[in-house]
Amino acid sequence: MSDSQYIFEADDSNFESVVISASQRQPVLVDFWAEWCAPCRSLMPLLAGLAEEYRGEFILAKVNSDENQALSAQFGVRSLPTVKLFKNGVPVDEFMGALPESAVRAFIERHIAHESDKLHAAAMQAYRQNDPETAVDLLEKAHAMEPGKSRITIDLASVLAGSGDPARAEEILNELPDYERSSGEAAGLLATLEFAREAAGLPDQATLEAGAKAGDLASLYQLALLHISQSDFTEAMEKLLLIIQKDRGYEDELGRKTLLKLFAVLGEDPLVEQYRKRMTSLLF
42-51, 55-64, 173-182, 245-254: least confidently modelled range: 173-182
pTM of the shown model: 0.63
Domain pair 115-197 / 201-283, same fold: yes
In order, the DSSP letters of 124-191 are: HHHHHTT-HHHHHHHHHHHHHH-TT-HHHHHHHHHHHHHTT-HHHHHHHHTTS-HHHHTSHHHHHHHH
Which has more confidence, 139 or 56?
A: 139
What is the CATH number that goes with domain 201-283? 1.25.40.10
Q: Catalytic one among 10, 37, 135, 223?
A: 37
**Known active-site residue 40:** yes
CA dihedral sign of residues 185, 187, 188, 193: positive
Q: Using one digit for the tens of pLDDT, what is the confidence trace for 65-76?
A: 999 999 999 999
Provide DSSP, 152-170.
HHHHHHHHHHHTT-HHHHH
Task: Report the pLDDT value the prediction gives residue 2, as an integer from 0 to 100.
Answer: 59
Q: Is the pLDDT of residue 114 over 90?
A: no
Taking the CB of residue 215, how many other CB atoms lie within 10 A of it? 9
Selection from 44, 136, 29, 37 nearest residue 91 by Cα: 29
Q: Where are the domains of the chain?
A: 7-109, 115-197, 201-283
Class of domain 115-197: mainly alpha
Q: Which of 7, 29, 40, 272 is catalytic?
A: 40
User: Active-site residue 56, yes or no?
Assistant: no
CATH superfamily of 7-109: Glutaredoxin (3.40.30.10)
Note the pLDDT of residue 270: 93
Q: Determine how many CB atoms are found less than 10 A away from the CB of residue 35.
A: 10
Q: What confidence category does residue 1 fall into, taking pLDDT thresholds of 50, 70 and 90?
A: very low
**H or E segment and range at residue 68:** none
